[in-house]
Amino acid sequence: MGNSDIKKVGLLTGGGDSSAINDYIRTIVILLEKQGIKIHGVKGSYKGLIEDEFMELTSKFVDGIQCTGGTCIKTSRTNPYKIEGAVQKIINNIEKQNIGALICVGGNDTLGVALKLAEEGLKVIGVPQTIDNDIMETDYCIGFHSAVENIVKCANMTITSAYSHEREMIIEVMGRDSGFLALNSALALGADSLLIPEFPADLDKLADLIQRKRKAGKKHGLYVVAEGVQIQGGKQIQDDIDAFGHKKLGGISYTIAEIIESKIGIKPNVVVLGYTQRGGTPCPYDAYLSTIFAKGTLDNLINGKFGYMVAVKNEKPVNVPIADAVKGIRLVSREDYDFAVSLGDIW
Ligand code: F6P
């Protein structure tokens, strides 16, 4: 059954930003405008829904934003289920604004709230966006490929110093509890090794690799370490915990470097990439995928398919119940990890 009765939709972007969100926004705005459907951006994710802060999006407004990173409607990590009375305010504001359906673009937290709002009776469509690429049931999330490209570019710029100074270089990347950013970057870089959260870090093995490699004549190296990797005694936790209960990660590589030094007397240099990997202009593949996500969103609006996340499988948009997408996080398989590790160990 069609849902042509929807004349206005709301769009929010939640959680950590990335480089290709504006590509998605531009495309969905153009597609909806051509259908005569108005689209209002919610400022700053669920915060804007609670506080009744919207901005009209038109094709003229979004013209040109595809070249820019971040999100033009802004984001936050607001969890309405942690704020008293917030959910009722959201329901009231959506009714007041005559919003017929809500598009929620973000990661597991944003989509988790979207699912709960769908259960409250709102017409919701989810779209996966996170550099972590850890959402289930989709090949890719908006932002992932651009972040990998940023990581590869930055890491490549450190190799010259690693070579000239005969240093071992650890590049620490984001990804929270998933190792996809580290895996794809390590493969693209031809890294000597990688450590990811899915499997306990074996630092004896890493120290041994460095020694064998140096003995064989290669006196520099590149190791990709995911921020969420587990090592004994590693201080992963910094001070903050966000509204969804996530610890702020970052800096584990300094501890790893110290442990390696204690084992073999060589202290790797550490580069924590931080927000540089999430910023800047989108890479073409990410920008292209964003248009596919937007096409899938339009189809769902027209066909009245709500409570689903638009996933991408084999570069085609497919629907997945949001409940299935957020039932856990997507993790790197043992096989894929071992493959990447084996490519670096040729000594
Ligand atoms: O979820 C995306 C992500 O970039 C993670 O990789 C990282 O751990 C986290 O966000 C950082 O969060 P914040 O932007 O709140 O510091």
Q: What is the DSSP string of 281-328?
A: SPPHHHHHHHHHHHHHHHHHHHHT--SEEEEEETTEEEEEEHHHHTSS
Does residue 152 contact residue 205 with C-beta atoms inside 8 Å? no
Residue 347 CA from chain centroid, whole number: 34
3-class DSSP state for residue 49? helix
Residues 6+ apart with CB under 8 A from 272: 172, 227, 250, 251, 253
Which residues carry out catalysis?
A: 132
In sequence order, the β-bridge partners of residue 310 are 319
C-beta 132 within 6 A of ligand 1: yes
Burial class (CB in 10 A: 0-12, 13-18, 19+), 84: exposed
Q: How many CB atoms lie within 10 A of CB 217?
A: 7
Angle between the N-to-C axes of helices 108-119 and 86-96, in degrees from 0 to 180, rounded to the nearest 10: 70
Superfamily of domain 144-277: Phosphofructokinase domain (3.40.50.460)
**Alpha helices (runs of H) in 143-251, residue ranges in sequence order:** 144-165, 180-189, 203-215
Q: Identify the helix (H) or strand (E) that includes residue 51.
A: helix 46-51
**Alpha carbon distance 43, 61 (integer Å):** 15
Q: What is the pTM of this model?
A: 0.96
Q: Which pLDDT value is given to residue 235?
A: 59
From residue 198, how far is each of 173, 276, 334 by CA, in Å?
14, 24, 8
**Alpha carbon distance 194, 312 (integer Å):** 27
Ligand 1 pocket test: which of 18, 141, 176, 330 has the largest number of ligand atoms within 8 Å of its C-beta? 176
Segments of the chain assigned to CATH 3.40.50.460 = 144-277
Does residue 40 contact residue 307 with C-beta atoms inside 8 Å? no
C-beta 45 within 6 A of ligand 1: no
Tokens of 67: 């070249």
C-beta 283 within 6 A of ligand 1: no
User: Can you spell out the DSSP letters for 121-158?
Assistant: T--EEEEEB-TT---TT-S--BTHHHHHHHHHHHHHHH
Residue 246 CA, ligand 1 centroid: distance in Å: 9
pLDDT per residue, tens digit, the chain (347 aa), is 445 589 999 999 999 999 999 999 999 999 999 999 999 999 999 999 999 999 999 999 999 999 899 999 999 999 999 999 999 999 999 999 999 999 999 999 999 999 999 999 999 999 999 999 999 999 999 999 999 999 999 999 999 999 999 999 999 999 999 999 999 999 999 999 999 999 999 999 999 999 999 999 999 999 999 999 998 766 555 568 999 999 899 999 999 999 999 999 999 999 999 999 999 999 999 999 999 999 999 999 999 999 999 999 999 999 999 999 999 999 999 999 999 999 999 99
C-beta 16 within 6 A of ligand 1: yes
Residue 134 CA, ligand 1 centroid: distance in Å: 12
**Alpha carbon distance 311, 319 (integer Å):** 6
Query: Which CATH number is 8-143+280-325's, of 3.40.50.450, 3.40.50.300, 3.40.50.720, 3.20.20.60?
Result: 3.40.50.450
Task: Give the Cα-Cα-Cα angle 101, 322, 177 (nearest 5 degrees).
Answer: 125
**Alpha carbon distance 207, 225 (integer Å):** 14
Nearest Cα to 280, choosing from 26, 70, 35? Answer: 70
C-beta 17 within 6 A of ligand 1: no
Ligand 1 pocket test: which of 132, 229, 240 has the largest number of ligand atoms within 8 Å of its C-beta? 132
Contacts 24+ apart (CB under 8 A), 261-265: 263/203, 263/204, 263/207, 264/207, 264/210, 264/211
Q: Which pLDDT value is given to residue 160?
A: 95
Residue 233 phi, psi dihedral angles, 5° rounding:
80, 0
Burial class (CB in 10 A: 0-12, 13-18, 19+), 52: middle
Residue type, 18: S
